Amino acid sequence: MVTVTPLEAELLALAGSVPDPELPVITLEELGVLRAVHLRGTDAVEVELTPTYTGCPALETMSADIERVLHAHGMREVTVRTVLAPAWSTDDISAEGRRKLREFGIAPPRALHDSGPVALTLGATRTAAPAAAEPDPGAEPVTCPHCGSADTELLTRFSSTACKALRRCLDCREPFDHFKEL
């Protein structure tokens, strides 16, 4: 069992309060990318951060923002270390983060799994029609964050960021981002 000191808990809360640079409506803690904070002396700290995917362009900004916040709190030396295992999953987004995404107009990701092995289904690498079918027809529907309707369609697998897809509600006709499940 890992023991967390009161100062580490305080620094973790400060680092966790940093807004995500691509989705500033949620914090790094709510996004689930902040893994740990370890003291390395009285004024030195190491932060473990897991990106949403290995090529995440926001990782550098997240690190700089964490460093700025912890330096302002008196930490002379701040090291942000990228940790790739365990890999980040959309299941790591907190309930509060999901609520904030929905209120912001982004459909949060659907829960994929509780724990343990993840089933993998391989499909075609190309899409025949512009509006591709859902990856898993048995999955719960993506509901519209504007009106709550489950009658939505996929417009494109890529939206304003690589982690989101663009969808449209067939009831209220509003387009919206859907945070893709990983």
What is d(CA 50, CA 36) in angstroms, rounded to the nearest whole number?
A: 10
Side chain identity, residue 42? T
Task: In whole angstroms, give the CA distance from residue 42 to residue 158.
Answer: 45
> Residues 6 or more apart from 125 whose CB is under 8 A from it?
none
Instruction: Output the pTM of the full model.
Output: 0.74
The pLDDT profile of the chain, 182 residues, written as one tens digit per residue, is: 678 899 999 999 999 999 999 999 999 999 999 999 999 988 999 999 999 887 888 999 999 999 999 999 999 999 999 999 999 999 999 999 999 999 999 999 887 655 555 555 655 443 333 444 445 555 788 999 999 999 999 998 888 788 888 999 999 999 999 988 87
Reduced to 3 states (helix: H, G, I; strand: E, B; else coil), residue 78 is: strand
Look at the block and give the residue holding tokens 């809360």: 13
